[in-house]
Copies of this chain bind each other. A is one copy, B any other.
Amino acid sequence: MRFKFPLMAIGLEVAMIVLFGVFVQYENVQNSGQPSNTSSPAVMNSFFRLYPLFQHVNVMIFVGFGFLMTFLKKYGFSSVGFNFFIAALGLQWGTIIQGLLNDHGEKFHISIHSLISADFSTTTVLVSFGAVLGKISPIQVLIMTILEIAVFNGNEYLFAEIFQATDIGGSMVIHAFGAYFGLAVAGILYRSNQIWEHHNKQSDIHSDLFAMIGTLFLWIFWPSFNSTLAVPEEKQNRAIINTYFSLAACVLTSYAFSSLVERRGKLSMAHIQNATLAGGVAVGTCADMEINPYGSMIIGSIAGIVSVIGFKFLTPFFATTLRIQDTCGVHNLHGLPGIVGGLASIVVIAMGASDVSTTAMQAATLVTSIGTAVAGGLITGLILKLPIWEQPPDEDCYDDCVYWEVPTVDDSLSLSRFQPM
């Protein structure tokens, strides 16, 4: 870590500045899809109309994902800190990659849509990061961010331009993609020497409460995530309403099934922190379709159930039999609910409730998203496995001490903020 990480980070930032200098321009406000009467300041352009939703998504990315992963009692600095780093890098790199792809290598403009799309690129990395949390170094974090965003944008181009399918909230192309990419990386980085249940892989009362900060902000702003790129007004309103009620229904089934599967009917914080959000993932693809509130509540209810069952039974199975250690259980929060979302869209389109895509193209998107994710994740995993990226040794996994100056618990040894020189 002595010089590799800082020099790579500086090099990347220099590269970003050069790429932005060559390719990126401000959007001409007159071109922002508004009618010509924008001379009146009172008529808002789409930038300003969507800005509050864009900020909701940013709260999800920086606070939501960041704190959701602080549940590990010794790994809070890394969870929220590496999440921060991934997001700041990802939003720059995502802007570039997507602009180059869409505008075929010419100069391109920054609109509110491109900012939001870059956020979505970043989200996939944050999802994948959850699968390898505690097991990779900052350099590996950096490399995974660069590679995954490139693969994501390739898959998205395929889905949007070739298949012309629909996935407004990204159930398939963001959540399932991110989950299976992360699982593939985690599978390659499997640590066979590691005792299965690492002694650091535990929560405490406070770390679980910090994680709830993440959960609640993700839950609250998920309707913005699923609606921000939808066509105004009707579809956008619908995406908000559908996501809201899917999430609400999902909370009830998550609590019910958590109590059902745990010993003596108790609730598990791991389920409440994660499964309650599965409704937001699963309703993503159908969010702007005419599925009616009750339809989204059915999707959300199923997602909550699937997610809790995944946490209870699938994660241990993955860790032991499939040799894939999924730290945060992203398969249960993003993988399975993402598949539920893709399948739901196939059902809904087959029933005629939407004509923006076909069942075949939706199925193709689901399959290729997972396929691309697994292939991309395997290759990324193999690159990350090279013994030059300062991966933490088994005994130091899930421990901030490896990469951070950490204050000690002993009072007399607490961390001084400003060491004497």
Do the beta carbons of B405 and A268 come within 8 Å of each other? yes
From A11-19, A159-167, A352-360, A362-370, give the one contacting chain B. A11-19
Provide the residues of chain B in CB contact with A80, threshold 8 Å.
209, 212, 216
**Taking chain A's interface residues, is the majority helix, strand, or loop, or is none over half, making it mixed?**
helix
Q: Which of chain B's residues has its CB closest to A267's CB?
A: B404
From A149-157, A179-187, A288-296, A378-386, give the one contacting chain B. A288-296
Provide the residues of chain B in CB contact with A37, threshold 8 Å.
40, 42
Min CB distance A221 to B, Å, is 7
A361 on the B face (CB < 8 A): no
- Proximity bits, A289-314, B CB within 8 Å = 1, else 0: 01011100110010000000001010
Assembled-state Cα–Cα distance A221/B55 (Å)? 8
Do the beta carbons of A249 and B92 come within 8 Å of each other? yes
A421 on the B face (CB < 8 A): yes
Do the beta carbons of B26 and A417 come within 8 Å of each other? no
Assembled-state Cα–Cα distance A73/B51 (Å)? 36
A247 on the B face (CB < 8 A): yes
Assembled-state Cα–Cα distance A183/B301 (Å)? 34
Q: Which of chain B's residues has its CB closest to A66's CB?
A: B216
Q: Which of B17, B251, B315 is the one whose CB lies under 8 Å from A418?
A: B315
Count this chain's copies in the assembly: 3
Q: Which of B16, B47, B221, B421 is the one whose CB lies under 8 Å from A237?
A: B47
A350 on the B face (CB < 8 A): no
A389 on the B face (CB < 8 A): no
Min CB distance A4 to B, Å, is 8
Contact sample, A vs B, 26 pairs, CB 8 Å cutoff:
A1-B259, A1-B266, A5-B259, A6-B260, A7-B256, A9-B259, A10-B256, A17-B301, A24-B292, A26-B238, A33-B41, A35-B40, A35-B41, A38-B42, A40-B43, A41-B232, A52-B55, A77-B208, A81-B212, A81-B267, A84-B219, A84-B251, A85-B251, A85-B255, A202-B416, A316-B421
